A and B are shown apart, each in its own frame.
Chain A
Amino acid sequence: MSKRQHISATVNGDPVEFLAEPGATLLDALRDDLGLTGSKEGCGSGDCGACSVILDGRLVCSCLVLAVEAEGRRVETIEGMAEGSKLHPLQQKFLEHAALQCGFCTPGLLVSAKALLDANPDPTETEARYWLAGNLCRCTGYDKIIRAVMDAAAELRQEKV
């Protein structure tokens, strides 16, 4: 077995250090080494989006990023989305619109939706559907998720005015 490598990174604004096997993914490091189990593994192949995180401002599947690639970089996960006990408008709208059933895909969808609204504060429904096409949800049929995202976008635009 190859030796583990020492990694320093910033996760949700905090400095972190961990040891990574060469083949371990960022998702493994988040879940197993840092105890951040909000990011989920649904496929391990970048097809379901349940492990979505933002890496240096860019939306990625953390199961497709090697843990060692996180060296010196900034990672944002679902655990960093609320400010203390104040939910992000996306989280609040997901609750109000009943946009989750089992909730397993929810962290990834929220991270992905946040990346969407960071990049495009006023998406059309079609833009939202295509942006979120990398996040599988098997429970909801996406209807309430899309409504929650559009509603949160409207609220965030309102806050900025």
Chain B
Amino acid sequence: MSDVLERRDAAPLDDGHLKVVGTRPVRPDGADKVTGKAMYGADLAMPGMVVGKILRSPHAHARIVSIDTRKARALPGVKAIVTAADFPDLASEEFEAGESAGNLRDLSQNVMARHVVLYDGHAVAAVAATSSSIADEALALIVVDYEVLPHVTEVEAAMSPDAPVLHAHMFTQGLAVTPDKPSNIAKRNELTRGDLAAAFAEADVTVEGRYTTAAVHQGYIEPHACVASYAADGQCQVWSSSQGQFMIRTYCAKVLNLESSNIRVTPAEIGGGFGGKTTVYLEPVALALSRQCGHPVKMVMTRDEVFRASGPTSAGVMTVKLGAKADGTITAADVVLKFQAGAFEGSPVGAGSMTALACYDIPNFSIVGYDVVTNTPKVAAYRAPGAPISAFAVETAMDELAAKLGMDPLALREKNAVRDGMKASYGPVFKNIGYVETLEAIRSHPHYTAPLGPNQGRGLAVGFWFNIGGESTAAVNINEDGTAVVISGNPDIGGSRASMAMMAAEVLGLPVEKVRPIVADTASIGFSMLTGGSRTTFATGMAVTQASQKIVEDLKRRAAMLMDVSVDQVDWVDGVAVCRDASKGKADLSLAHIAEKSGQTGGPIGAQVSLNAQGAGPGFGVHLCDVEVDPETGHVTVLRYTAAQDVGKAIHPAYVEGQIQGGVAQGVGWALNEEYIFDRTGHMENAGFLDYRVPVASDLPMIDSILVEVANPRHPFGAKGVGEVPIVPPLAAVGNAVSAAIGKRLTDLPMAPPKIRAAIDAG
């Protein structure tokens, strides 16, 4: 269950009398989702549709000598076959696509390998056929001649000077002197403050450690899926499950060199994404196949393909050194982060660096990050990309520092906590943050002082995420009966239709059931950046709110006309126009009444707002975890978990709690079970849910979530992003609890039974 703690300045529209925002209505898309009617990526069937499948590399690194598709083409029922030769050979070019940025050549070559395969599972060809079994048969008839090359999957091995080089064009960026030899280190980044050497020299206490995390997959239950249709006149339609229909449109246009106006993307319901559906794998391939054969082409990944060829997030190798005064004041921090990017550059080491020390006010620090390519799938965003990895290292080191100082871990965080007005380690000055309140929420929770039994341990960790705003469009239309439709361009990944409807209902003064939210295709609403960065409720919610406010102004104007008074005489109160001057004897006008008469006052009532939302408030989480370790087997049971988070204002508290609980569960999996395991040939050994084990219901206790509401005044109702923060602290919260339970410091994830037994046996 959740406690809501409130304090501080209200947001512009929060007068303390909110009627809809902050309540827990049933979500408007709920009935379809509990009855099996909701249409996800693989649920659409089209007339004349054929099945597309991808042939994937069995090698971690190889040159493609030749691809012979003649036998496959001759198979009856095969309609199309594409290889890289059917895609434009794009030059290296950095591009911005809404939230995400990328390199055009890398994006294209990840979709379809050109000349070289860079990981086990890399796409080399695709077929479309009249049935799934014929498509399988055709794939088996394609002959690819590979020249197998040496490969490297581990991040530190890939950094070694004698490692096999993945990209001959890659020269490490961010060094003082540009190197003369190519390397797997794509980039080095650095953040510094103060005089680190002097600070360490003067520190009373120092701790130092090396920490590792494994590559883990986002693990959405819905595999990637789409249907694409390319018409004879070049107009394309795509239906797919993704975190952004506009992102799909942009990437398809780039990879196939098409015009955006010729691509219409309709978002299917999305069966989980967590950042992993912020890029394209199938859509351009399906379009290329459809262009060749003229049929709509459906493509659905198997789970094996999802693991081998999409996601994951980086494995990381980190070192942290902390220096403090005897009273617990941290004076120095030295952090080095080495993140695996997979086959193409672009690990989240930048965000990992910026978030590493963001919870702390430390006068002297150095954070150095390395973005390293390896012969593994290209990483994709995963919930607060990079932050959980660096937080695992820093928060474990903090636990060691607290132990060495003989200080309570929470008190150590409180002593060094960032507060409003302080300059963040990554640059800006903090405003309206609720970190101290979040620490206090855990301190005052009964869990904090609950007794522990034998073989049990308690771990604390904190976490930070920026949250973003960005470009969004929303439209609100009033129907002729006074009900409303809210149209936005952000896929609803965890209940955002509900929050959009609630914000509109609050402003319009309607019951939420009278507001129907829809997620529109790319031709039916203006551009919106994808659902990611915890931005939708903040940024798209701001567009919805402003569109609703425009409508209220318009309704007042129309009511004034109908009442025959001046517009400044009309107030909008709970969905009704009221004349301020009671002596005029004007009857109140309901929204339904004004809507019915809209023809007399200027025609249909509607408003659209496009904006670039600024002022997203950063979020902080403080997590407390109890575990019990079975000393015989090394198995860890999570006994109790409490997570407090500064959420700004919870628009729909139940879905905010859900975000926190879900983030914790993913973090527990990351800490205890999940990892990519490669054999000596670079083949992934556990590409399925049996061997890549994500937490199940019996692995977890109830997860207490505490919503700390320190309003973000830049959002009309005070909201901050909430979806990513909760995955940042759990890795170390669980790890610190396990270390406490066994009395040994563990530093490598996942903390699977063999590692724990080995630590216990080491004596």
Q: Which residues of A contact B695 (CB under 8 A)?
A: 141
Asked whether, in the complex, the Cβ of B272 is within 8 Å of the Cβ of A141, the reply is no
Name the residue of chain A whose CB is nearest to the CB of B652.
A98
Known contacts A95-B27, A101-B494, A144-B654; A38/B37 CB under 8 A: yes
A-B residue pairs in contact (CB < 8 Å), sample of 28: A36-B36, A37-B43, A42-B689, A45-B688, A47-B303, A50-B221, A79-B35, A79-B36, A82-B35, A98-B654, A100-B34, A101-B659, A103-B33, A107-B34, A128-B697, A132-B697, A133-B698, A134-B696, A135-B696, A136-B689, A138-B694, A139-B658, A140-B658, A140-B665, A141-B664, A142-B665, A142-B697, A143-B702
Q: Lowest 3 CB-CB distances: which A-B pairs, in order?
A: A38-B36, A104-B271, A103-B33
Q: Tell me if B134 is interfacial: C-beta within 8 Å of chain A.
A: yes
B31 to chain A, nearest CB (A): 7
A110 to chain B, nearest CB (A): 6
Q: Which of B42, B269, B689 has the most CB of A within 10 A?
A: B689
Q: How far is the CA of A48 from the CA of B220 in the complex (A)?
A: 11
Q: How far is the CA of A100 from the CA of B26 in the complex (A)?
A: 11
Q: Which residues of B contact A81 (CB under 8 A)?
A: 35
Q: How far is the CA of A94 from the CA of B31 in the complex (A)?
A: 10
Asked whether, in the complex, the Cβ of A138 is within 8 Å of the Cβ of B35, the reply is no
Known contacts A81-B35, A97-B654; A104/B697 CB under 8 A: no
Q: Tell me if A62 is interfacial: C-beta within 8 Å of chain B.
A: no
- Give the residue of A41, A78, A91, A137 whose beta carbon is less than 8 angstroms from that of B223: A41
Q: How far is the CA of A141 from the CA of B655 in the complex (A)?
A: 12
Q: Tell me if A102 is interfacial: C-beta within 8 Å of chain B.
A: yes
Q: Which of B30, B134, B223, B302 has the most CB of A within 10 A?
A: B30
Q: Tell me if B700 is interfacial: C-beta within 8 Å of chain A.
A: yes
Q: Mark B668-686, 1 if CB is under 8 A from A, else 0.
A: 0000000000000000000
Q: How far is the CA of A23 from the CA of B659 in the complex (A)?
A: 40
Q: Tell me if A129 is interfacial: C-beta within 8 Å of chain B.
A: yes
Q: Tell me if A20 is interfacial: C-beta within 8 Å of chain B.
A: no
Asked whether, in the complex, the Cβ of B689 is within 8 Å of the Cβ of A87, the reply is no
Known contacts A41-B42, A43-B689, A102-B222; A107/B36 CB under 8 A: yes
Asked whether, in the complex, the Cβ of B700 is within 8 Å of the Cβ of A142, the reply is yes
Q: How far is the CA of A63 from the CA of B223 in the complex (A)?
A: 15
- Give the residue of A23, A42, A95, A145 whose beta carbon is less than 8 angstroms from that of B26: A95
Q: Tell me if A96 is interfacial: C-beta within 8 Å of chain B.
A: yes
Q: How far is the CA of A107 from the CA of B26 in the complex (A)?
A: 17
Q: How far is the CA of A13 from the CA of B688 in the complex (A)?
A: 34
Name the residue of chain B whose CB is nearest to the CB of A85.
B31
Q: Which residues of A contact B235 (CB under 8 A)?
A: none
A120 to chain B, nearest CB (A): 15
Q: Mark B219-239, 1 if CB is under 8 A from A, else 0.
A: 111110000000000000000
- Give the residue of B134, B274, B303, B654 whose beta carbon is less than 8 angstroms from that of A44: B303
| Chain A interface helix/strand/loop/mixed | loop
Q: Mark A62-79, 1 if CB is under 8 A from B, else 0.
A: 000000000000000111
Q: How far is the CA of A77 from the CA of B654 in the complex (A)?
A: 28
Q: How far is the CA of A102 from the CA of B276 in the complex (A)?
A: 14
Q: How far is the CA of A50 from the CA of B220 in the complex (A)?
A: 12
Q: Which residues of B contact A106 (CB under 8 A)?
A: 33-34
273-291 of chain B: CB within 8 A of chain A: 273-274
A124 to chain B, nearest CB (A): 12
Q: Tell me if B495 is interfacial: C-beta within 8 Å of chain A.
A: yes
Asked whether, in the complex, the Cβ of B24 is within 8 Å of the Cβ of A40, the reply is no
Q: Which residues of A contact B655 (CB under 8 A)?
A: 98, 101
Q: Tell me if B270 is interfacial: C-beta within 8 Å of chain A.
A: yes
Asked whether, in the complex, the Cβ of A137 is within 8 Å of the Cβ of B221, the reply is yes
Asked whether, in the complex, the Cβ of A94 is within 8 Å of the Cβ of B34, the reply is yes
- Give the residue of A47, A91, A145 whose beta carbon is less than 8 angstroms from that of B697: A145
Q: Which residues of A contact B30 (CB under 8 A)?
A: 94-95, 100
A61 to chain B, nearest CB (A): 12
Asked whether, in the complex, the Cβ of B133 is within 8 Å of the Cβ of A42, the reply is no
Q: Tell me if A161 is interfacial: C-beta within 8 Å of chain B.
A: no
Q: How far is the CA of A145 from the CA of B272 in the complex (A)?
A: 16
Q: Which residues of B contact A103 (CB under 8 A)?
A: 29, 33-34, 38, 269, 271
Q: Tell me if B353 is interfacial: C-beta within 8 Å of chain A.
A: no
Q: Which residues of A contact B303 (CB under 8 A)?
A: 42-45, 47-48
Q: How far is the CA of A107 from the CA of B37 in the complex (A)?
A: 10
Asked whether, in the complex, the Cβ of B495 is within 8 Å of the Cβ of A101, the reply is yes
256-272 of chain B: CB within 8 A of chain A: 269-272
Q: Tell me if A146 is interfacial: C-beta within 8 Å of chain B.
A: yes
Q: How far is the CA of A132 from the CA of B698 in the complex (A)?
A: 8
Q: How far is the CA of A122 from the CA of B703 in the complex (A)?
A: 22
110-134 of chain A: CB within 8 A of chain B: 110, 126, 128-130, 132-134
Asked whether, in the complex, the Cβ of B697 is within 8 Å of the Cβ of A40, the reply is no
Q: How far is the CA of A145 from the CA of B654 in the complex (A)?
A: 12
Q: Mark B12-40, 1 if CB is under 8 A from A, else 0.
A: 00000000000010110111011111111
